[in-house]
Chains A and B, each alone.
Chain A
Amino acid sequence: MHPPDSEKPGLSRRGFLKGTGLSVAAVGLVKSATAAQEAPAAEVPTLSAAQTHEISFELNGQTTQAKVRTGHTLLETLRDQLDLTGTKLVCDQGSCGACTVHLDGKPVNSCLVFATDVAGRQITTIEGLAKNGNLHPVQAGFLHEDASQCGFCTPGMIMSCKALLDRNPSPTRDECKEAISGNICRCGTYFNIFRAVDHAATLMKGGR
């Protein structure tokens, strides 16, 4: 993806990254569309409200660029710019979990993350789970247990369930309830979801 109009080599604000603990060189650059000398007070690296900024991050294992404004959320960027519409928008305020993605391996509400904040970091969305045409065990578990009705909560549910199994291969029912407590299902598929997690746990341990 090409940076916007006036971008010239050498004008990226590398200072933005300094000391943030990002050790990668190619990933995580935030470049701004206009020259650095127009920036406000030099001492604190600042992304301007008036400009578009190019971010680079790892999305489902691939280095990915996006052009974002400071007011853009990660959710908007995934859906509207990167065409990854598996991640759903419902409440837009952290209350429903439909927008759940993994940020550096942890499940978060992508509607409550600024897009510029993911520069240099790893994002996994529902589109990143299946490998070589094979469903992830959690996805297979949802199919096996018929754990979605309208399906709108399903991508977020699956991301929360996967996060649970990543850190706890044998969750109890209560641990499962807690792990998906930030994901709301309007159709009430919860019991099938609990069974889907049990099924996925078995699959992940090599069972069938």
Chain B
Amino acid sequence: MKNFDYARPQDVQSAAAALGKAKGSRPKGGGTDLITLMKSGVLTPPLVVDLASIPGLSGVSRLETGHFRVGATTTIAEVAEHPELARVARVLTDAAATTATPLVRNRGTVGGNLCQRPRCWYFRNLDYVCSKKGGQTCYAAEGENKYHAIFENVTCNIVHPSNLAPALWALDATIHVAGPTGEKSIPVADFWVRPEEDISTENVLEAGEVITGVSFAPEGASTGSAYHEVREKQSYDWALVNAAVRLDFEGEVVKEARIVVSAVAPIPLRLEACEKILKGQKFSDALAEAAGKAASGGATPLRDNAYKVHLIEKCVKNTILDAARRAKVRSGEPR
């Protein structure tokens, strides 16, 4: 790995200032993604700015508004094992618990998980100057594309790798950002950037901007949420497809639904067509089945990944069923 200047600021403002000054510099959370990309030479930042040593940037807290806030450098393990979060944001703790390995979860952070780079093997291999690395070709389009996108795979076929991203979107979370010009809050729905807008990145963060935390409202008394993923091997793996679902009920009727899928497109996708099938309807297994079927609408699979079309339908259906079951348990109704 190439050596780099390594800054350990004591506050977010000086972190942002340092990052803003050196072109190509990178913030670091746990380093579990950054270090692998620096080893392979895909990233060669002249300056790395450690966020993990900034006091006050990690931990879970309750805000005056009643919302929960998770600091950017909170580890994925802390989120996965947080008993209160498991009560108020089950979709998030489930997503965290299925992320990577216990070893990676002890280092990897929430901010780093959201900003980790795609796992596409062409992108990660220095020998392929793919369009994401400034070249002209997406090698996955005609190449080995078993793990690539089945939606929005026009310019670049990566899939978004973060487990926490769809879960936070299902909670309608807000991402808090600090940068050289100050602080701002971005709804998670507006955080992502499609390859067609800017192929070099996956999110809206500008040079010098860092995530400081995420916040969301706790689930209500008749809400249920769930995260499911399908993987190739059980021990640990990136998801082949995943789904994050939040359902708010009024009696038997679905009042509000959030259905977000990932690992199927360059950015996480909210499936409003599936939500519409559920909203205002009396819940039933058949309704979940119908919503699941709708999840594959518009899919354009590649040579090796048509299997994902089937998986996403089942995954969405099962996640909806799980979220509905949890809402029932919470509101004390018998199953």
By the criterion CB–CB under 8 Å, are A49 and B5 in contact? Answer: yes
- Are A69 and B103 in touch, CB under 8 angstroms? no
Chain A residues whose C-beta falls within 8 Å of the C-beta of B7 in the assembled complex: 44-47
Query: Please, what's the 1-or-0 string for B303-314, where 1 marks a CB less than 8 Å from any CB in chain A?
Result: 000000000000
Q: Pick the contact of B101 from A21, A71, A72, A97 — CB < 8 Å?
A: A97
Contact of B102 among A41, A44, A50, A181 (CB under 8 A): A181
Shortest CB-to-CB span from B100 to chain A, Å, is 8
Q: How far is the CA of A71 from the CA of B41 in the complex (A)?
A: 12
B65 to chain A: which residues have CB within 8 Å? Answer: none
Within 8 A of B (CB), among A39-56: 40-41, 43-50
Interface of chain A residues 88 through 117 with chain B (CB within 8 A): 92-94, 97, 100, 103, 106-109, 111-114, 116-117
Distance (whole angstroms) from the CB of A93 to the closest CB of chain B:
5
Q: Identify the closest chain A residue to B38 (Cβ).
A: A71
Is A202 engaged at the interface, CB distance under 8 Å to the other chain? no
CB contact list, B241-265 vs A, under 8 A: none
| A70 close to chain B: CB less than 8 A | yes
CA–CA, A41 and B20, complex, Å:
13
Question: Nearest residue in B to A76 (C-beta to C-beta)?
Answer: B1
Size band of the interface chain B makes with A: 35 or more
Residues facing A in B1-48 (CB within 8 A) are 1-10, 14-15, 17-18, 21, 30-32, 35-36, 38-39, 46-48
Residue with the highest number of chain B CB atoms closer than 10 Å, among A50, A92, A117: A117
Give chain A nearest CB distance to B104 CB in angstroms: 6
* Interface window among A2-10, A12-20, A128-136: A12-20
Is A73 located at the chain interface by the 8 A CB criterion?
A: yes
- A140 interface residue (CB < 8 Å to B): no
Q: Is the CB–CB distance between B103 and A182 below 8 Å?
A: yes
Q: Answer whether residue A160 sits at the interface, using C-beta atoms and an 8 A cutoff.
A: yes
B208 to chain A, nearest CB (A): 13
Q: Which residues of the partner chain A approach B5 to less than 8 Å between Cβ atoms?
A: 40, 46-49, 70
Q: In the bound complex, how far is the Cα of B10 from the Cα of A108, in angstroms?
A: 24
A166 in the interface (beta carbon within 8 A): no
In the complex, whether B107 has a CB less than 8 A from a CB of chain A is yes
Give the total of A residues in contact with B, Cβ under 8 Å.
44
Closest residue of chain B to A20 (Cβ to Cβ) is: B53
Question: Is A84 positioned at the interface, with any CB of B under 8 Å from its CB?
Answer: no
Contact B53 A114 (CB under 8 A): no
Which residues on the A side are within 8 Å of B83 (C-beta)? Answer: none
Q: Are B235 and A181 in contact (CB under 8 A)?
A: yes
Separation in Å of the A49 CB from the closest CB of chain B?
Answer: 4
Q: Nearest Cβ in chain A — how far from B125, in angstroms?
A: 13
Chain B residues lying within 8 Å of A94, measured Cβ to Cβ, are 32, 36, 100-101, 103-104
Judge whether B50 is part of the interface by a CB distance below 8 angstroms: yes
Q: Within the complex, which residue of A16, A45, A69, A108 is in contact with B107, where a contact is CB–CB below 8 Å?
A: A108
Contact yes or no, B14 A93, CB < 8 A: no
At the interface, yes or no: B106 with Cβ under 8 Å from chain A? Answer: yes
- The closest CB in chain A to the CB of B97 belongs to A178
Considering the chains assembled together, what is the distance between the CA atoms of A92 and B2 in angstroms? 15
- A21–B57 Cα gap in the complex (Å)? 13
Taking A44-B9, A160-B102 as contacts, is the C-beta distance between A49 and B31 under 8 angstroms? no
Which of A46, A48, A50 is packed against the most chain B CB atoms within 10 Å?
A: A46
CB distance from A4 to the nearest CB of B (A): 15
- B251 CB to nearest A CB, Å: 36
Tell whether A109 pairs with B32 under 8 Å between CB atoms, given A19-B55, A94-B104. Answer: yes
Chain B residue nearest to A106 in the complex (CB)? B106
Chain B hits for A183, CB < 8 A: 103
Q: Are A108 and B106 in contact (CB under 8 A)?
A: yes
Instruction: Take A49-B46, A108-B106 as given contacts and tell me if A70 and B6 are in contact as well, using a CB distance cutoff of 8 Å.
Output: yes
Residue in contact with B8 in the complex, picked from A16, A92, A113, CB distance below 8 Å: A16
CA separation between A50 and B46, bound complex, in Å? 11
**B3–A49 CB distance below 8 A:** yes
Q: Which of B194-222 contact A (CB under 8 A)?
A: none
Of B6, B36, B235, most buried by chain A (CB within 10 Å of CB) is: B6
B residues within 8 A CB of A103? 106
Q: How far is the CA of A43 from the CA of B55 in the complex (A)?
A: 16
CB of A179 closer than 8 Å to a CB of B: yes
B102 touches A107 (CB 8 A): yes
- Determine the chain A residues whose CB is within 8 A of the CB of B53 once the complex forms: 20
Q: Which A residues are within 8 Å of any B CB, using their own CB?
A: 16, 18-21, 40-41, 43-50, 69-73, 92-94, 97, 100, 103, 106-109, 111-114, 116-117, 160, 177-179, 181-184
Instruction: List the 9 closest pairs (A to B, CB-CB), nearest first.
Output: A182-B101, A71-B1, A49-B3, A182-B103, A181-B235, A71-B3, A47-B6, A46-B7, A70-B6
Given A49-B5, A94-B104, output 12 extra A-B contacts at Cβ < 8 Å: A16-B8, A20-B53, A44-B9, A44-B15, A93-B36, A94-B103, A107-B106, A112-B107, A113-B107, A114-B35, A117-B52, A184-B235
6 sampled A-B residue pairs with Cβ under 8 A? A20-B8, A44-B7, A94-B101, A107-B102, A109-B103, A117-B52
